[in-house]
Structures are given as structure tokens and as C-alpha cells.
Structure 1
Amino acid sequence: MTVTGTTLVIGATGTTGSRTAAGLIAAGHHVRAASRSATRLPGTQPVRFDWYDPATFGDALAGAERVYLVPPVGDPDPAAVMLPFLRLARTAGIHRAVLLSSSAVPEGGPAVGEIHRALPGLFGEWAVLRPSWFMQNFTGTHAHARSIREDGAILTAAGTGRVGFVDADDIAAVAVRALTADRAPDTDLVLTGPEALSHDDIAAIVTEVTGRPVVHRSLTYAQLRDRLAAIVPPEFAAMLADMDRAIAEGAEDRTTDTVQRLTGRRPHSFRTVAERELRAVRDTSAIR
């Protein structure tokens, strides 16, 4: 692995972006950390970047050779802002692009699926990361995590369907490899954890780790769609509810060896992540 050039990390303050930036720095690479607030992260060069402000594109790209792409959150049509940026990136000298997508969105599918389809035609070196649902959805700032903390419940329309939930640390480890290896993957990579779990399984593990009772409550498709529409655009809410319905039908009941194949180690289990990230909750409960 050769240390050359600069990697632009878009969404550098986010769940995978911050971890990817840290992993690149730890491996000795130069990182330009792009975010709307131009937040300074240890060891990086901060730069302001906003998908909806093309005036920020040029400074972010200056001198960069590789880019980690996190699409604008909650936008049902990210291609409208991403494709002009990607064309500019190619002209500016970016030769490798790694895109964060989703296991639920195939090439040419809705939203970021259109960017997936376009990427190979824009860059000679590329990869599309298609992680399953993040384990951090239950430990961080996601609606599931808030619902766990506030109501002791996980609300989904996924029924008993199982998901190969994946640790954001593992996603970032693959991203670093895809960005810096001598040869780019030049393919899409479905990323999962080591086992497929239902939301009932997740609730049981969180209960055991924190000592606080957590349950999984099933909603109908319409109930989930309407609930989500209160916080995201209606089209995006419908797409997310469709994904839960697909989980209920078995679409995400799978695991892959991608993390181990690219990083040389097994992916982390949900119990490991819960122990690591919910330890404070458990310890606080023990004091009370």
C-alpha cells in the first residue's frame, strides 16, 4: 500500500465518513475532511462541502486523487446533485471513487442506484460499498436508538425478517482498503456482519447488554411510511418502508465474506458492538 496523494472524504463527520477518515490517517494517508461545517478532525485538512452548493466543489477537489462519496442524506434523487460533482471530479483529477450505497439498492435502482450505474463510466478505478443496515442504528443517533432510549422499543415493519447487520467500523475498514489498495475493486461489495438477526434478536441482545427491557414492536407498511413521512420527504419515507417490507419477505437474510476477504479479519458481531457502544448505558443502570 503506497502513501500518495490526498483522499477527499465527503461526509467526514458522519458515521462511516469519520471512521474512514480516521482509518486513512492511521494508515499514513493524507485526508481532506469535507463537511458542511468544515469541522477539523485530528490529522486531516478540513474543507467546507455542501452537495447543494456547487461553489464548495472546487476547493474540496483541489489536489485530491481519490474520493469517498457519502450521498446527501434523505434525498430521493441524489443524482441531480451528485452527477455534476462527479463529472467535475473526473476533470479535476480524481482517478478513484468509492461510493457508499446500500445492500437494498442494486445498480440502476432508486436513489443512489443511479450513481452506482454511472460510476464505472466516470472513473477508471472505483468501488460501490453496499452495506446492510448499520449496527449503529441501535446505538447512536438513529431513530431506532432514540426509540430504544426513550421508549424501550424498536418499531419496524420488518416482522420476523432477518438482516445481516454490519458494524460501521467494518464498513470503514473496507472503504480504506478500497480507496488505497494498489488495485481498486472495480465492483460492488455487499457488506454484512457475521450473522443475520431479526429485530427481536436485536431487542433481546440490547436488553441483556444494558439491563433495560427493550422490545420489538411490529408496524404495518402504512404505519411505518406515515411515521417516517413526518421526518423525511414522503417519497423517501415510502422507499424506507418498502425496504422494511422487503426485509419481512427475506431480502436481507444473508451474510457475505466481503469484510474478511478485504480486511483479513472477521466482521464484528452485534453483541460485540453493543458491549462496546452501550457499555455506558449498562454501567449507569447498575449505579441506580
Structure 2
Amino acid sequence: MNVLVIGGTGTTGSLLANLLPDARVGTRKPVLDDHVRFDWDDPSTFDAALDGVDRVYLIPPVGVADPAPVVESFLARARLVRRVVLLSSSAVGESATGMGALPALVRALPEWAVLRPSWFMQNFTGDHPVAAGVRDGEIVTGTGDGKVGFIDAADIAAVAARALTDPLPHNTDHLITGPEALSYADAAAIITEVTGRPVRHRSVSTAEMAARLAAGLPREFAEVLAQLDEDIRHGAENRVTTTVLDVTGKPARTFRDFVRTSIG
């Protein structure tokens, strides 16, 4: 098999590329021998990236209101590709346009899987606003007491690797969560306990959250993110699945273990 990992230097893509060392890594800025230039904004990069490829890990373009047309165009060029594993989200429902239109495009292929992970544990590190809150000692969200089945990106990559390489196609949607649902207050308490640095959670209204996010993001996008927080407040992400264990044979990583190795 010949696998193309789109977004192969990103959060899940880089982890997946490590699991599949023979894969071709699609990235806007190739620097290594196994890298190939791939840019959703430049369709002229599609054909070279797809040359000889029969399986694709598909991370859709980021920050695009309706990525379906360009993804559909890409798949139309992928004549040799039989299997596509799409990275979607647990928060994305089916729709005729937007991100919700992508699963239907993938399901039209002979072999496919749609990954629907919950919120990444990696949001508590790096450049994410939640990570900034961890460093400042106060995580601010609009989630109230709502809970989330936070998932480690490495577990998502492990599921993706199986979906790409298993002899039989999965041909299903995989809802992927960690082993426990936690509120942000719960998460802050675990971070405090493990690291010894006080971190608390402060919940604000959806409108205030949108205003805070709009300080660094386009207003429309900020409002979408604030609405996702409100959905969490009303229980939309309060669930856990055994997908990681069922697919990979290993249990999903706990948030406490993630904090111990990545924050502590």
C-alpha cells in the first residue's frame, strides 16, 4: 500500500507519520525526503502528491467555511485511491455544505473511515487559548459544568493507522474519546494536583466568550467556537466510547497521565 498523510507535520498527522514510516507526508513546506508539497490553496500540488497513492489520511483545509468543493475536486483526481480516512470532529454534524458535507464524499469511495474525535488533550499545551490559561493559572471557557471526553492525539493517530492499514476496510464512523468525561474544572484540578501549580476554571457567558476569542480571531469564527462551548455546557460532549481500545487493542490515555508527561 502507498499512503499519503495530508497535514503530515500537524498534530495528528505527524504522529500518524511516525506510525507509518513508509507513508508520504503531504505538507505546505516539505523539508524531508519523505515530504511532498501539498497545499489545499494550490490544486496544482494535488497530482504529484497523489502519484502512486492508494490510501489517504485526509485532514481538510483549516479555516475554510465550505471545504467540500476543494475536497471533492481532490478526490476526483485521486483515481487510484481506494481508501480514505477523514479526520472530522465529534462536534460536526452531517450537512449539505461546510465540514458536515465531507463524510458523504468519503463514503462514496469503496473503502473509508470517518474519525470523529472529541476535544484534544493537546489543547492544554502549545498555543491554544486553553493552554494560555493553564500557564496563567485561569482557564476561561463558556462551558459551565459541561464535561468533555478529552482525547490524546496519539490515540487518534493509532486509530487512523489501523483504519488505513487493516486488511478489511472499517467503512464506519469512529467516535473517539478518552476514558473519562471531565469538566474544565475537573481538568484544572488535575493539573493543579499533578503539577503543584494552582489552575482554576472560570466559566463565562457565550457572548463574553465570543468577545474574548474575537480579540485574536475573526468575529464569525470566534462566535462559532463560543457556540461549541455552549454546546458542551448543555451536554453535547458528555460521553465516552471504547473506540480506541476496540480498534487498537490498547486503552485510551487518561488525562492525568497526559498532564504528568506533557504539562507536569
Q: Pick the TM interval, shorter chain.
A: over 0.9
Instruction: Name the residue aligned to 1:135.
Output: 121
Q: Percent identity?
A: 53
Find 2:51's aligned residue among 62, 75, 78: 62
- Equivalenced residue count is 264
Q: CA deviation at 1:270?
A: 0.2
2: CA distance, partners of 1:263 / 1:8:
21
Q: Verify: 1:80 aligned to 2:69, yes or no.
A: yes
Distance verdict in 2 for CA 1:9–1:168, change over 3 Å: same
Do 1:108 and 1:117's aligned partners in 2 also have CA atoms closer than 8 Å? Answer: no
Do 1:75 and 1:236's aligned partners in 2 also have CA atoms closer than 8 Å? Answer: no
2: CA distance, partners of 1:38 / 1:213:
40
Shift >6 Å, 4+ stretches: none
Q: Please give the root-mean-square deviation of Cα atoms over the aligned residues, in Å.
A: 1.5
Q: CA deviation at 1:109?
A: 7.0
Q: Verify: 1:102 aligned to 2:94, yes or no.
A: no
What residue ranges of structure 1 are gaps of 5+ in the alignment? 280-288
TM-score normalised over the length of structure 2: 0.95
Q: CA deviation at 1:191?
A: 0.2
Q: CA deviation at 1:7?
A: 0.5
Matches within 5 A, 1:1-288: 5-25=1-21, 30-40=22-32, 45-89=34-78, 91=79, 93-108=80-95, 111-121=98-108, 123-149=109-135, 151-279=136-264
2: CA distance, partners of 1:181 / 1:265:
16
Q: CA deviation at 1:154?
A: 1.1
1: CA distance, partners of 2:140 / 2:98:
24
Distance verdict in 2 for CA 1:225–1:137, change over 3 Å: same
Do 2:145 and 2:184's aligned partners in 1 also have CA atoms closer than 8 Å? Answer: yes
What residue ranges of structure 2 are gaps of 5+ in the alignment? none
- 67-76 or 54-63, larger mean C-alpha shift: 67-76
SS of aligned partner of 1:126:
strand
2: CA distance, partners of 1:254 / 1:39:
40
